[in-house]
Structure 1
């Protein structure tokens, strides 16, 4: 039987070991109460991580804006290291796939890239207080004014992949939902950040719609013109679903907006 003194000593030793372990391992996560968000920073609205997962897996569809409670979480993710790492991983996997392709060398093997949040980043726009990373309803007039500025930066992983694909001998096709009236701005922006050459830049004409139907139609036209879509990359599932999607698709993350 332990004496009161022995019991107290054992309790103190347990507390000391517990405190030491906590200091040595600050990132321990309780199985039912995780405290670490993206990049190792704490977040109170942990449901936002599940919300983002649902978005990326296309389990959450037809949503119109980021939940107000998730604005800070999405902002942290998009501006933090995790978003950059996620994009880099997608690009790295795409290159591993591409370099193993048996290309014909006839100039008809193409890689299709979306533009917004795939090759160019609109984060400087979405970080504005009036946009709040998609937590405020979309304002097409304000966004189109941003497009005209032609100052969107490149997504680093995608730009690196783009250059590697060119060296492999693949032709690049940019297929975007941006309207043709913004062609000059898009060309200027792409070239300014390093996307200097491409086979085609396809933009939406009047009455062509958007989403899966529009992109499927344009990809079908490419293949009917003799092109082979060896890879297809976009930030929206509507970039990758539908007909003539290509031999393999790659999705980069985008929890800021949804295009069906």
Structure 2
């Protein structure tokens, strides 16, 4: 009799648990989430974008399908421009008190190129705003046309830094075969006076971007340069040693380069 009562008790407990789980909006027996729409979708996509910017989301190949329109609107919005401008203002604040240049020509500043000095947004506007997997051949063909517009906020900062007496170095993951097109595009958009443009040659093809860029900085340091700052739109522009005294990241949630 006692065993029968215990069995009935356990059966009732299990049934109660199943009923409770079945009535919940989400539970371990039902892994389907409610479809996102309206404000909830906007919140999700903004959260995704922010977590890309703070480097929590890494190595993504495409923008989530449901967020393509949102990311496209952001990257062409006044908010994107305001976010870039704020990063530039923080850099200017740092410049106002950070650096006592020695006047020996060894004080250096590093810029990335794409989506730091000039913008690939016009290309991605025609290729799904990051929703399509990156086609390097197509992107490089577009780069050869020298149609990437300047990012105005960075153009002004570039010349401000140059006029302060820093030697400016451009370190890009563009291939060496794009040197002429890159130089032509930069000059066309108002950039001039940099000291060196570093591009990937054949021996750099299989290197992780962060290693390639860190090695480029190491060569500068070995030449006696003091790296006061780096500005880029990808975390791989800053990772590795040696680094700079300060780094400033511009927003970019269209792609991730490691």
The TM-score with structure 1 as length reference comes to: 0.81
CA–CA separation in structure 2 for the residues paired with 1:95 and 1:211:
27
Kindly indicate whether the alpha-carbon contact (under 8 Å) linking 2:146 and 2:182 is maintained by their aligned counterparts in 1: yes
Q: 2:84 aligns with which of 83, 87, 112?
A: 87
Q: How much has 1:84 moved relative to structure 2?
A: 0.4
Match of 2:196 in 1: 200
Consecutive unaligned residues of structure 1, counting only runs of 5 or more, are 1-34, 37-41
Kindly indicate whether the alpha-carbon contact (under 8 Å) linking 1:109 and 1:229 is maintained by their aligned counterparts in 2: yes
Distance 1:161 1:227, change over 3 A: same
Kindly indicate whether the alpha-carbon contact (under 8 Å) linking 2:42 and 2:70 is maintained by their aligned counterparts in 1: yes
CA–CA separation in structure 1 for the residues paired with 2:83 and 2:179:
29
CA–CA separation in structure 2 for the residues paired with 1:43 and 1:148:
41
CA–CA separation in structure 2 for the residues paired with 1:165 and 1:43:
42
Say which SS state the counterpart of residue 91 (structure 2) adopts.
helix
Kindly indicate whether the alpha-carbon contact (under 8 Å) linking 1:92 and 1:161 is maintained by their aligned counterparts in 2: no
Match of 2:160 in 1: 164
Q: 1:175 aligns with which of 166, 171, 174?
A: 171
CA–CA separation in structure 2 for the residues paired with 1:98 and 1:232:
12
Kindly indicate whether the alpha-carbon contact (under 8 Å) linking 2:162 and 2:193 is maintained by their aligned counterparts in 1: no
Distance 1:210 1:182, change over 3 A: farther
Match of 2:124 in 1: 126
CA–CA separation in structure 2 for the residues paired with 1:71 and 1:95:
33
CA–CA separation in structure 1 for the residues paired with 2:70 and 2:230:
29
Kindly indicate whether the alpha-carbon contact (under 8 Å) linking 1:108 and 1:227 is maintained by their aligned counterparts in 2: yes
1:1-260 equivalence runs, <5 A: 44-100=41-97, 101-128=99-126, 131-208=127-204, 209-260=207-258
CA–CA separation in structure 1 for the residues paired with 2:40 and 2:225:
47
1:17-49 CA-partner distances (Å, limit 9, x unpaired): xxxxxxxxxxxxxxxxxx99xxxxx78432000
CA–CA separation in structure 2 for the residues paired with 1:232 and 1:45:
32
CA–CA separation in structure 1 for the residues paired with 2:220 and 2:188:
26
CA–CA separation in structure 2 for the residues paired with 1:214 and 1:159:
25
CA RMSD of aligned residues (A): 1.5
1:44-102 CA-partner distances (Å, limit 9, x unpaired): 43200000011000001111111111111001101110110111111111111123211
CA–CA separation in structure 1 for the residues paired with 2:243 and 2:233:
14
CA–CA separation in structure 2 for the residues paired with 1:180 and 1:46:
41
The total of aligned residue pairs comes to 219
Match of 2:3 in 1: none
Consecutive unaligned residues of structure 2, counting only runs of 5 or more, are 1-36
Say which SS state the counterpart of residue 229 (structure 2) adopts.
strand
Kindly indicate whether the alpha-carbon contact (under 8 Å) linking 1:113 and 1:174 is maintained by their aligned counterparts in 2: yes
Q: Structure 1 residue runs of 4+, over 2 Å off?
A: 42-46
